[in-house]
Structure 1
Amino acid sequence: MAKESLHKFAGMGQDSQIYYLTAFLATALLVGIGAWLFTSMKKKKSTSTQNTKVRPEKWCLVGKVAKLIVYPIKSCQGIVVEEAAVTRLGLKLRDHNIRDRDFMIVDKKGKSITLDVMPAMSFITLEPSLEKKNHLVMSAPGMDSIVFTYPDEDKSEEKICRVMHDKNVKALDCGDQVAEWIQTFLGKEELRLFYHHVPETQRTFEPYMFECPLYEKTDMGAFQNETSYLIVGQESIDELNARLPEKKSSWRNWRPTILIDNVLEPFAEINWSFVKIGGENVILKAAIPCARCGLTTVDQDTGTLPKDGEPLKTLRQMNKTDVIVDRKMAEVVKNRGIMGIRMGLYVPAGAEGSLIKVGDPIYAALL
């Protein structure tokens, strides 16, 4: 058919050829514009404000909160707390401004430094000062602690840093003394500590994120990889550990902000659409199953990166052989090994600032 069409076109007069060529180009242009509009509408829908009509009405009790963990500095040690406030950008300590991953260590180009690159980061802690209000204390083994305050927006020069694919995230530098402390402990020059001072997310979607029906830009946090919250079930970790050849993993390998237990089925949390914690107004909504990276293989007790690739190696094999997640979603995250569900705060429920605590019941809903 293609050859016949070409012969026909070649046999036409010049005027006819120009006419048909013009018609073809016009049609192609319209198709292209239509495709662009469809994509734009899809993106606009995916990043729009949250739709109150999708809130479920029927809930099922599925477990309880086992631990709440706030990681003040991305890739560094977390603070285990009994209760915390929920915000759009992540969990926040009850009586302090410290929030999950509001701080990040960067190199001279402003790119984030992560635990799999520098495993010793697992020893660095950042906590509120017990003596000075609104002061922060950074500590690590073999180092004198350093006390500092949040950077002043009026006095600090705004910097640009990179988180994952986002290259233009604004932040404030925490100063030379803090930078020198970090450089001394990690043994690497030109490292800085940046603070996310902007009150909303600055993150943007990657193409695969548009495949997730409930995922919205408002679900993305400060310096987190993809979303403000990560829920992992202890039963999922136990199921994986039962298949590991030697050393078992702990919740520290998987770095959840909310660890849950008393779940009847391992990996059940991966398929929940909504999660309600405690009262009626604290609701999280699913964004995407959490595809795990090499960071999960760091031995955080020793600050080393083992060479056997575990526990990630076994998890990836499980994801290929066990039906633990919707196959379409597994393909979206490229079958990289799924542990936990990334979630965002369901703002229409009025949860901003509400407290959740260890022992709170967990309810789930599917759409």
Structure 2
Amino acid sequence: MKLVNTRINTPTGQVAVGVGVGVGALVAWWAWRRSTANQLPTKWEEVGVVSKLNVYPLKSGRPVSVSEADATERGLSADGALDRSFLVMKKDGPLLTGRQVPKLTRVAISFKGHKVTFESPDNPAGPIEVDLELVAKEAKVVELIVFGANAKGLDCGDEVAAWMSQAVSAGETPVRLLYNGEDPLTQRCARRAPYYDFRHIRDSDKVTYADTCAYMLASESSLVDLNARLAEPVTIDWFRANVVVQGSAAYDEDDWAFVRFGGEGEQSVVLRRLKPCDRCIFTTVDPYRGCKTADQEPMTTLRKYRLLDGPEKLAKAWSIKPVFGSHMGIDVCGKVKVGDKVWVARASSNPRWHF
């Protein structure tokens, strides 16, 4: 953007007119950007169908696979299960994920009304039930930091805390279980990186306990391509995707700026790509065995062909972090179902949509 100066012989006049025109140009540019920021694409391309929907009510826990879900501003929700609305933290300490306690990935969760059941093959005591009405009534609020942001949760009690400690660490690490559900105590904004300006992240993008954003999208074809390079194949559960697409070309999702679900002309749900999903050591956790792979797969293989080569600043920051799938925000909430058609607007068709 250039600021245009109109020259007048007096120094005072020159500065006054130059700044006036410059501010006018700045205001016009800001008004244009604001007016176009929330506009949805008008041209869509059909690329496949939704093949899987996963809700992860417990952060780092087992997924709840559903045939349909509400796509909310904080993630998928189905039958009372809201994505990443429970988390495990050390007693009087930081949050814990499958990176620190891989057995957390084997903890399953199910809902029946206001009662929630947890079970794990790593706790011989069997399942345990938590009454969320009682949790809300007792209202023991705990404050914590989630990836640099302040957050809160309702403590779910001593009994389930002891059960969870046994499930994730054989009782060696005392933990607490927190809940932040349908009526949130706090909401966090999608996490912005200090090393790069992902300009499609907005202040309106909210999360509960998710690392970065409300949605992670991946494709079956990309997984097939990866598995063709691996000695032992992995499943999509290793990548913890909320929405899985079938029928598109491998890694075609790298070019999807917007994703819409439903029939032609419908706009039931629209997701907006915030950034590529950069992968960390969590990808090496086998979610069925609850342990890290000895050969650090599939990360080792992904690093051979899925590291960014640009933009330079981001490629440097992610020099050992391959990308797989996309982090998404939401522009239109609604219902999404397995079998829904998937329509996309490509980043390559509009320079404003590039990350």
Q: Same fold (TM over 0.5)?
A: yes
Shift of 1:180: 1.0
Match of 2:82, SS state, is: coil
In structure 2, do the counterparts of structure 1 residues 200 and 109 end up closer, same or farther at CA, with 3 Å as the change threshold?
Answer: closer
Question: Which one has the largest radius of gyration?
Answer: 1
Unaligned runs of 5+ in 1: 1-40
Shift of 1:314: 0.8
Match of 1:217, SS state, is: coil
In structure 2, do the counterparts of structure 1 residues 220 and 289 end up closer, same or farther at CA, with 3 Å as the change threshold?
Answer: farther
Give the alignment of 1:188-203 within 5 angstroms: 188-197=172-181, 198=184, 201-203=187-189
Determine whether 1:175 maps to 2:157: yes
Match of 2:213, SS state, is: coil
Match of 2:187, SS state, is: coil
Percentage of identical aligned residues:
27
Tell me, yes or no, if the aligned pair for 2:153 and 2:180 is still in contact at 8 Å: yes
Q: What per-residue deviation string (whole Å, max 9, x for no partner) do you get for residues 211-265 of structure 1?
A: 2221113324111110100000111111111112x111110111100011100x2
Determine whether 1:269 maps to 2:253: yes
Distance, in Å, in 1 between the alignment partners of 2:48 and 2:101 is 35
Determine whether 1:231 maps to 2:217: yes
Tell me, yes or no, if the aligned pair for 1:319 and 1:335 is still in contact at 8 Å: no
Give the alignment of 1:334-353 within 5 angstroms: 334=319, 336-346=321-331, 349=332, 351=333
1:56 match: 41
Amino acid at match of 1:363: W
Match of 1:86, SS state, is: strand
Q: What per-residue deviation string (whole Å, max 9, x for no partner) do you get for residues 137-181 of structure 1?
A: 111123321111226445322211222222x21111111111011
Tell me, yes or no, if the aligned pair for 2:277 and 2:326 is still in contact at 8 Å: yes
Shift of 1:206: 3.5
Distance, in Å, in 2 between the alignment partners of 1:49 and 1:173 is 41
1:145 is matched with which residue: 94, 114, 127? 127
Give the alignment of 1:247-266 within 5 angstroms: 247-263=232-248, 265-266=249-250
Determine whether 1:87 maps to 2:69: no
Give the alignment of 1:86-165 within 5 angstroms: 86-93=71-78, 96-129=79-112, 133-141=113-121, 142-150=124-132, 152-153=135-136, 155-165=138-148
Distance, in Å, in 1 between the alignment partners of 2:104 and 2:302 is 24
Give the structure-2-normalised TM-score: 0.79
Shift of 1:135: 0.8
Determine whether 1:284 maps to 2:266: no
Determine whether 1:218 maps to 2:204: yes
Match of 1:109, SS state, is: coil
Aligned residues: 307
1:77 match: 62
Match of 2:109, SS state, is: strand
Shift of 1:53: 4.3
Tell me, yes or no, if the aligned pair for 1:218 and 1:344 is still in contact at 8 Å: no
Larger helix percent: 1
Match of 1:314, SS state, is: helix
Distance, in Å, in 2 between the alignment partners of 1:344 and 1:235 is 22
Which 4+ residue blocks in structure 1 deviate beyond 3 angstroms? 48-53, 151-154, 203-210, 325-335
Distance, in Å, in 2 between the alignment partners of 1:110 and 1:203 is 22
Tell me, yes or no, if the aligned pair for 1:208 and 1:332 is still in contact at 8 Å: no
Distance, in Å, in 2 between the alignment partners of 1:137 and 1:291 is 32
In structure 2, do the counterparts of structure 1 residues 68 and 192 end up closer, same or farther at CA, with 3 Å as the change threshold?
Answer: same
Shift of 1:109: 3.4
Amino acid at match of 2:109: L
In structure 2, do the counterparts of structure 1 residues 183 and 79 end up closer, same or farther at CA, with 3 Å as the change threshold?
Answer: same
Match of 1:253, SS state, is: helix
Larger strand percent: 2
Give the structure-1-normalised TM-score: 0.77
Match of 1:121, SS state, is: helix
Distance, in Å, in 2 between the alignment partners of 1:199 and 1:98 is 16
Distance, in Å, in 2 between the alignment partners of 1:359 and 1:329 is 35
Distance, in Å, in 1 between the alignment partners of 2:272 and 2:35 is 10
Match of 1:218, SS state, is: coil
Q: What per-residue deviation string (whole Å, max 9, x for no partner) do you get for residues 301-328 of structure 1?
A: 22221121110111111124x88x8777
Unaligned runs of 5+ in 2: 1-25, 351-355
Distance, in Å, in 1 between the alignment partners of 2:195 and 2:188 is 16
Tell me, yes or no, if the aligned pair for 1:289 and 1:329 is still in contact at 8 Å: no
1:363 match: 343
Shift of 1:335: 5.2
